[in-house]
Amino acid sequence: MKKRFFSLALAAAMAASLTACGGSGDTATTTQAPTADAAGTESTAASAAETEAPTADAGATWKIGAIGPLTGGAAIYGNAVVNGAQIAVDEINAAGGINGFQIEYMSADDEHDAEKAVNAYNSLKDKGMQLLVGTTTSNPCIAVADKTAADNMFQLTPSGSAVECAANPNVFRVCFSDPDQGAASAKYIGEHKLATKIAVIYDSSDVYSSGIYAKFAAEAANQGLEIVAEEAFTADTNKDFTTQLQKAKDAGAELVFLPFYYTEAALVLTQANTMGWDPLFFGCDGMDGILGVKNFDTSLAEGLMLLTPFAADAEDDLTVSFVTTYKEKYGDIPNQFAADSYDAVYAIKAALEDANANPEMSVSDICEAAKASMVKISVDGLTGAGMTWNAEGEPSKEPKAVKIEGGAYVSME
């Protein structure tokens, strides 16, 4: 039985809170006027860089680290992040590096575990890491963010979407936050009149899932949506969803909102199909990867609409080049997480160049320089043209939506 599965489209729903900027498809940066506070910090950092700037042939390198789940159930995310960043590093090094200095790139596996993420951070720090692209998933990112804050190390997470991930002033993110996704989901369902009776199945043990749901529930009331069933599960009970599905069915749900990752979503779709129940399903960006779930009947995902800032079938020069390189290097089609990390490395490049920073500065001085410049730069990347950041570390860019047709993602207008 073929399922219809919808995911959020932030492009319309977030128009009031996110600035959509135009630009070319080539990765580039421009400098904008800083705020008064940012200008003062940037001036100090730039002065430090200029006072003791070594020559590029002094042997110094930028040491950029990446942390994510390279093994385990979330490995599709972590490997994509590491791979996407590697492509950016290779391009930048081939073009002369950052301010004339090459990048030394290193990565570590956290297995989607907070404690292991901290261990991975300490291991990379022992190897001389100066800036961090990571971590990939929210719980590990929150744990590591406390460590980078204590060390005043600049951290740019490609995909840590929980609010707490970017709570510290040294942390920025490329992706959108969970609350933005939750509110936009409810708005999209309401404005497109997909359903009025909604069931929610969410992971109460995961900050990503529960964070999205909390904002979704608040906005649902504003949209005239009735939540007829709220069914939670945890990391210890994430294999059998028949009870939750039955309660949702009995409550008369027309649509089931699934704010969690693709592995559990594949089980939900499979078990609903077994029950002979065919409501609408609506998910969030954690669904990216569902077509790669082992032993999953991908026909059940046909018609899936998915929020993603990146569509691999886009025809602009930057996307075509990135997808071609990724396929040649890794034998796979890149997902949004690979694109997020690619853009993260270019954002770091733009910030360090704006600050005229060099790798012989201290970790703390590099952090202060990057922080000041992040609120000034604009980056045209894979996940958005004219991307900018505010002082809270949040990005402003236009998201995109795709749907699955014939077992592939197709861009939506």
**Residue 30 confidence (pLDDT) above 60:** no
Q: How far apart are CA 133 and CA 383, in angstroms?
A: 16
Confidence at 43, pLDDT banded by 50, 70, 90? very low
Confidence at 180, pLDDT banded by 50, 70, 90? confident
In order, the DSSP letters of 268-301 are HHHHHHHHT---EEEE-GGGTTGGG-TT--GGGG
Structure tokens at 91: 């391009």
Structure tokens at 81: 């992040």
Q: Are the C-beta atoms of residues 326 and 332 closer than 8 Å to each other?
A: yes
pLDDT the model gives residue 276:
95
Answer with the residue of higher pLDDT: 5 or 109: 109
Q: Are the C-beta atoms of residues 265 and 287 closer than 8 Å to each other?
A: yes
Lowest mean pLDDT among 51-60, 168-177, 226-235, 316-325: 51-60
Confidence at 58, pLDDT banded by 50, 70, 90? low
pLDDT the model gives residue 399:
60
**Residue 36 confidence (pLDDT) above 50:** no
pLDDT the model gives residue 188:
81
pLDDT the model gives residue 217:
96
Lowest mean pLDDT among 36-40, 50-54, 117-121, 289-293: 36-40
Answer with the residue of higher pLDDT: 345 or 17: 345
Q: What is the pTM of this model?
A: 0.73
pLDDT the model gives residue 48:
38
CA nearest to 330, candidates 68, 28, 70? 70
Q: What value does the mean pLDDT take over residues 308-326?
A: 90
**Residue 256 confidence (pLDDT) above 90:** yes
Lowest mean pLDDT among 46-60, 305-319, 398-412: 46-60
Strands (E), 253-396: 255-258, 280-283, 305-308, 377-381, 384-389, 395-396
Three-state DSSP class for 342?
Answer: helix
pLDDT the model gives residue 411:
77
**Beta-strand relationship, 384-389 and 377-381:** antiparallel
Q: What value does the mean pLDDT take over residues 117-129?
A: 98
Answer with the residue of higher pLDDT: 315 or 359: 359
Average pLDDT over all residues of the chain:
85
- In terms of average pLDDT, the best of 2-6, 158-162, 187-191 is 158-162
**Residue 290 confidence (pLDDT) above 80:** yes
Lowest mean pLDDT among 64-73, 293-302, 395-404: 395-404
- CA 410, 188, 10 angle in degrees (round to 5)? 60
Q: How far is CA 150 from the centre of its chain?
A: 23
